[in-house]
A and B are shown apart, each in its own frame.
Chain A
Amino acid sequence: MVRFMLRRLLAMVLVLLAVSVVVFLIFNVIPNGDPAARMAGKQATATQVEAIRREWGFDEPIWVQYATTMRKVFTGDLISYTNRLDVDEEILRGLPATLSLAIGAAVIWMVLGVAFGAFAALRAGRLADRAISVLALVGISVPVFWLGALMSHYLGFRAGIFPSGGYEPLTRDPLGWAYHLVLPWTALALLFVGLYSRVLRASVLDGLRQPYVETARAKGLSERRVLVGHVLKNSLIPIVSLWGLDFAVVLGGGAILTESVFDLDGVGQFAADAIAQLDAPPVLAVTLLGAFFVVLLGAVVDIVHAALDARVRVT
């Protein structure tokens, strides 16, 4: 276990290093990406641009720039090139909204995905199964920005049932927090509900064919206990792994579109704004955060997987 953790820690460092280098290089080769020119504005003279370049250290060799930037990421001194705001502070400010969105949506998509998937598998080939398949396909295909915009407009703005956007901190008003998040949760979860129900359906159907299920039936267990105690227990294992990784992606800024549509002002939205302005420091920091979550939850998933299935060992 200790060796596993050490290895994962080392892997995490390497992944973060690679991600940071790639993101940093992209911003250096991107057309129109010269930060000094962008900071100086459209009417700036060449000397003004040069002055900014020297002041911010953009004239230094690229590896020196990289080292300086990375140091600032971890000391919290990193500031945006466009609005001069402290990047780490901004991320921390957006994190509660992003966490709330990700956790809530992940719970919803897991519960609904499993429910629909198991139900479809038990009704395989019948009308209910086909209906769920079509709905799942729709859920997977509908773009979240389109669905989110429709929900926000019709259920929020027009009908006034839900707020059309914005985030309410949990600590200030728990009910308002949930109320504000119902639409974003639904919009974000829908894609995953479709995906998870398909995966679980296949996994349950496969489970039902396993000889140990027949053994369980031959033992005289009720069909419900066969399904819950044996079929589902086995079928959920791949889903749990998938869940951890998808959750990490959403946490690490994968919910950019949902956050933007519902104006949640989370980490994803922060990153989206930065990308629009080719503002390297926030993008770099958010990307690193995302990579961090993915690697971290990847390790957690492996440990959980080994706990659920004794055939798997963490090494």
Chain B
Amino acid sequence: MIENYILMHKGGLDEYRDNIFVNYSSSLTMAMLYLPSESDFSVADEAAVAALVNSSSKMRFIDLSESVYPLLTDLKNYMLIRINDKNITIERHGRVYAYIVQNGELKMLPNGVTSIDDKDRVICCTAEFLRDLNEIAILSDAVISDSAEEWMDHLVCRISDANRLAQGNLTAVTMIVRSGD
């Protein structure tokens, strides 16, 4: 099982423009879209991406990637994630990032498949979310947290201390691998 907590906060803007689409099945499949102010994305394309992710449980990751690519080409900043308790597969484009806590360090995940272990902690987030954080802060909050929600709460407090959550949209997912559950 992958315990996860999703943050979708509008920040200081009038509306929440980023988006996350999730499919909960034996693996967790996710599309994270980052839309800074200069970006634009049609409602129809967004709905199409949502539909693809929703129906992706039996789809190979590469097929999902190829299906969403034409819809997201202009977006530039997005990430596809598939994670189960054995490995995580990501494909990231532009200013969205994924990190894993391993051996007391925070490491950026490369595109492709990475094996993971029980209790590993993973975070996927946009550049806006990361703006007032650093790797040591993310790492420290990860290793003291019992749950994905608690980890996110600590990170939000740090961002709040820096900018009162009054900047752009804040989009992130914290995940903890629970192999025994």
Real binding pair: no
Footprint of A on B, CB under 8 Å?
none
